[in-house]
Structure 1
């Protein structure tokens, strides 16, 4: 039962003995239930999750009758207090003496399928946005070059310095608009991939934000030191994470109702995790959490679009550029927000170095 095949399943599998004690969890179950199998072997099922009193009776009935059963949209509660909506199937397993030796529980989280669907939509929307911006940038930059060149020629023809000031305004504003278009397009250089410690990236961001916040915000670090190196462009990853953390910092500084302002940077490793339509053996999860006012509902769906901002003085480019950078690293940025708790999760696959440069 403890075969390598089950260990590699994306389905969460839990094995119980006849006393409803946990005998085995595969890595997918560990990740879903947020428990360590080594610590709960031999313990009751409630050491991993609980449902209601009827669910325990159903398990005993399955042992007595030998009949499998399936529950749809069951709400289970983890030991961390977190609730999950999932479907699960219970299958009795016959032993060598032809009696029920154990139960297999296969858990299929419904909210995870919803998350995958949302990720697919987010990726598709971001790709559409990039194509639209690329086409728009091309249409803007071509006439801009002509306007700037014409202004330079006119400037040379004028002997009056006061008139040259007007042409200089045209040149400077053309340059400003060109720079804005370049920022909309995101990083112009291809990532220079190499193996790197993600905590070095976070420490650099922490250092920069500490200076900018000037002691007004408490910065908390909660790192998992066992996370392997990721493959990425260090400078671009610093910029992406910095954009997200700076966004949180600015929201906190503008929130006058909250006296205790805090940002938490945390890292965790996720096993057998799906990003979009692709499942990865190991994923690095970077969480940026703040206790600010939250993001308005009407902005959430377009949060990563260019020029969308919840602040009057915001450019709306920071999160869009961050998402572009993380997409180049085969990852994604997700966001969940309620008042007093906004969480951005940056998910980057941990893969072997397969490119040079």
Structure 2
């Protein structure tokens, strides 16, 4: 059993860490305050090969797998949880999913543009009244002969109002329930039937654009179907099992950033004549954070490794996502306590770590949904895929 990283993987970590510190950190406080998204930064990340993992080289892939993507995303999230999102939008979400279910023409047309960030990616599942219960979505796609017509609304969609090409899930036959859902590759631009709007009232992830999409008799080409008509639910579940590993990587990064900040502050701040890190209560908090983070790291890396080996991993991925996201919230909360009053100030990163960490309990399946998946597989109700 190997626990070490290769020299190449360590170099990738260092490259991502370097990028985060030199390109993201200098403007982060200002960008957070102004909810600023920088598309040119996504392009920079693409040029470094960040979005080529788990994809064939013929479509722009870099020859690496899910584990390398996790290592990259973790280092970026250590500085900013917001800038972990492009890994899902450009790579692990649409690109990897089209590579699995798409035709050769679809792969050639779309994947390279996501990998090199010429197209801004997204995937649209959640609706105003449909979250964890994916099959309750109301968006429909009607076959009109020479085109499909989309009607409905998507909510809380990353990159909604800045996105170009991405995946949209809709019902083509509601009577068939799960088997009546279909996935479409959709262009959000230059379509009079599609209107997007930003959501600026978020607690965290202020540099990651989030919005809503409204489809009103939106015409999309007949060749927009990904996979087969009626295969959408299967595609959606397969995709979420991948994108949640990137969320788990984001949790590792946020927790790691919070722990580093807590340790630095505990070694600098003095009370009653000595640094606060000398007090056992502070040490106990840091010890718990470090132990949980180390355990989370092993779980996330294991799940990513299983994916790269083509082995069953759904349960392990949900375990990783559940544990890592909860550990990140705990680490961020403990960091705020260690910072005391300064933790409540936007002048320090503690409050941002806590705000950003909260999202990871919700996205790509809430913590409760992860528990349902884990228990269902453990009890033999469903197989581990």
TM-score between the two structures when normalised by the length of structure 1: 0.25
More contact order relative to length (CA 8 Å, sep ≥ 6): 2
Please identify which structure carries the higher helix content: 2
Please identify which structure carries the higher strand content: 1
